[in-house]
Chain A
Amino acid sequence: MKAFLAAVVVGIIVAVGSAQLLDSRFQTTTPALYTTEGARITSPGDNLVQF
């Protein structure tokens, strides 16, 4: 049980940690990356079905 709970906690920490690291240093959203002075791309929002 202890090993299982430790795995759940570490799993969450690794996922949240990698999200922070990737978002802050390695990833940019398409709208942010490809928007230029001449072309603005709007964000599609969060709901991928209704937008």
Chain B
Amino acid sequence: MTRLTRLLAIAAFAALGAVGAPLMPLAPMAEAQQVNPTAESVTEDKLFQALRGDQMIEGRASIPDPKAPGLIKPGNKGWADTHTGTIRALTVWTMIGMVALLGIFYAYRGRIRIDAGPSGRTIKRFGGVERFAHWLMAVSFILLALTGLNLVLGRSVLLPMIGEGAFGALSASGKIVHNYMGWAFMLGLALAFVVWVGRNLPKAHDLTWIAMGGGLFKKGVHPPAGKFNAGQKLIFWSVVVGGAALSFTGVMLLFPVLAGTQADWQLYQLIHGIAAALLTAVILAHIYIGSIGMEGAFDAMGSGEVDLNWAREHHSLWVEEVEGKSAGSQGGGRVAPAE
């Protein structure tokens, strides 16, 4: 071999080496692709890198759930922020706001008394079916509100107070109560709607009632009202509309397959959270005025009989109607002396 041919041979070998080096690992990889099914699976490192970004992460899953492979979608991240940020803030501030308002109202007005004092005579206000419907709706709503509030605030408020074990047990049973008490609420809501809707249609005198602030802010002011005044009609329609929205979205959340895709679940959850916060605030005001806020009001839902003077002050048109009817049926016995 001449010196030149030896040099050429070395150069060719080196060139082959330079090209061949990167090719070397490729050969076993191509082979491995046929035998190793996980060769292309995501490495943990890559996954964590990707999770940090805001890109869509989707893959294949071997379970027959078409939604399972969608691990992260940019929309879901935005949703998580809305859920843990906006909804939580809305819930906290509507609750605090309403309790503060009621506190201010109580400080300013105190307990609204029967101006003429109790008469000692009562008048039948609500029958057994009406009170049953009310309490079915009320008991279930209060349980739903408490267990629902735990879903929104429990981790930050209750967990540090009672510890993981107790909070875990409480939340797991709370979730079961929430899922199934919903059906009792729907039944109560439907019943209350049927028994009361006729009495809650808007009337011209409702405007006078609203213009006079319902007489709530001043002693001795009593605008005329039928069986339900304009304020109560507002409560009734809030309960009907809010309750229907909560019921529909609640059933969709119970049966996500019926509801559609992630985007639908998010919309339903958003409506559920907002309606729950707003209706709970309205109900706080309702519970206040139906119990400590107004003398004589609770009896309407307790025994079903209210004091005649209370009825004349708060529902004058309704009393005239009842007295007119009972006079027509010769005393009818609807207004009775209290025991």
B21 within 8 A of A: no
Asked if A48 and B168 make an inter-chain contact with CB atoms under 8 angstroms apart, the answer reads: yes
| A19:B180 contact, CB within 8 angstroms | yes
A48-B188 in contact (CB<8A): no
Residues of A within 8 A of B255 (CB): 26
Contact assessment for B63 and A49 in the assembled complex, using a CB-CB cutoff below 8 Å: no
Give the distance in Å from the alpha carbon of A48 to the alpha carbon of B176 in the complex. Answer: 12
A residues 33-51 near B (Cβ < 8 Å) are: 33-36, 38-39, 41, 46-50
Main secondary structure of the interface of A (DSSP, over half): helix
Distance in angstroms between the alpha carbons of A49 and B155 in the assembled complex: 9
Could you say which interface size class chain B belongs to? Answer: 35 or more
Determine whether the beta carbon of B187 is less than 8 Å from that of A36: no
List residues of chain A with CB within 8 A of the CB of B172: 46-48
Which residues 1-51 of A sit at the B interface, judged by CB distance below 8 A?
1-4, 6-8, 10-12, 14-16, 18-19, 22, 26, 33-36, 38-39, 41, 46-50
Beta-carbon contacts of B279-312 to A below 8 Å, as 1s and 0s? 0000000000000000000000011100000000
Q: Are A11 and B139 in contact (CB under 8 A)?
A: yes
* In the complex, chain B residues 85-135 whose Cβ is within 8 Å of any chain A Cβ: 128, 131-135
Chain A residues, CB < 8 A from B62: 36, 38-39
Q: In the complex, what residues of A have CB within 8 A of residue B180's CB?
A: 15-16, 18-19, 22
Interface centre among B179, B183, B184 (most CB of A within 10 A): B184
A40 to chain B, nearest CB (A): 9
Cβ contacts A to B, 11 pairs, < 8 Å: A4-B139, A7-B134, A7-B138, A10-B187, A11-B139, A18-B180, A19-B176, A33-B65, A34-B63, A48-B168, A50-B168
Residues of A participating in the B interface, judged by any CB pair closer than 8 Å: 1-4, 6-8, 10-12, 14-16, 18-19, 22, 26, 33-36, 38-39, 41, 46-50
Nearest 4 interchain pairs by C-beta: A7-B135, A3-B131, A49-B168, A47-B168
Which residues of B does A touch, CB under 8 Å? 62-65, 68, 128, 131-136, 138-140, 159, 164-165, 167-169, 171-172, 175-177, 179-181, 183-184, 187-188, 254-255, 302-304
Beyond A3-B134, A10-B184, 18 extra complex contacts between A and B, CB < 8 Å: A1-B302, A3-B132, A3-B135, A6-B132, A7-B132, A7-B188, A10-B187, A15-B177, A15-B181, A15-B184, A16-B180, A22-B254, A34-B64, A46-B172, A47-B165, A48-B171, A48-B175, A49-B164
